[in-house]
Structure 1
């Protein structure tokens, strides 16, 4: 998956959402080591700082843990899967709402311009 410029979410949100979905689906299993930041940056087509930001979010959500000198791993807490799936669903819904709001705002801007241009 590469980050889409057309997606209303920021690049780091897209990366975090993708990793969250992969954890929820079991594609990334508890205890599994994640690829390094440089490799993930290349895969997603973003800067390493974007990956760090996405991982910070997942760390705060306790979906991943980092160990100095060892790497970053999917959390081994058995309860995280349900919350990850719920978080992924909410993130999807929020993304849809955000896209709808952007569309509404663009329509409002266009209508305001048309009203101002009327004689």
Structure 2
């Protein structure tokens, strides 16, 4: 579960998954739970989980296989060429998702601020 420690949730999730990989409870070749399952487990949004998995990809700890899932990478295995493009595409999609969510939050804040008691709407 993500805690209110001041440390972003995606970093907490990445730290926990990294510890599981390094500790051996997630062995090489083992699939990570789905994004939805991880979101439920950590009580976090899908975009936060995707960012955490993206960090592990960038670190070379996991590798995605299109249509199959994300798997713990064998430390001795070479990183396939072109994997950076997939990582970049995933990060761009995550940024787009976060931008949409941020716009909605800002809209809600603007609406709730304009409705505060004691404010005149002229």
TM-score by length of 1: 0.63
Alpha-carbon distance, 1:9 to partner: 1.0
Structure-2 separation of matches of 1:21 and 1:29: 11
Find the residue that maps to 1:43 and give its secondary structure: helix
Q: TM-score, normalised by structure 2?
A: 0.61
Give aligned pairs, total.
Answer: 77
Q: Counterpart in 2 of 1:31?
A: 29
Query: SS of 2:12's equivalent?
Result: helix
**Paired residue for 2:65?**
67
For structure 2, the residue ranges without an aligned partner over 5 or more in a row are 78-122
Structure 1 residue runs of 5 or longer lacking an equivalent are: 80-119
What is the root-mean-square deviation of aligned Cα atoms in Å?
1.1
Structure 1 residue 10, shift from structure 2 partner: 0.2
Higher relative contact order at CA 8 Å, sep ≥6: structure 1 or structure 2?
Answer: 1
Question: Which residue pairs with 1:57 in the alignment?
Answer: 55
Q: 2:76 aligns to what?
A: 78
Structure 1 residue 8: deviation in Å? Answer: 2.3
Aligned partners of 1:34 and 1:19: how far apart in 2? 9
SS in 2 for 1:30: coil
Q: Structure 2: how far apart are the matches of 1:77 and 1:10? A: 27
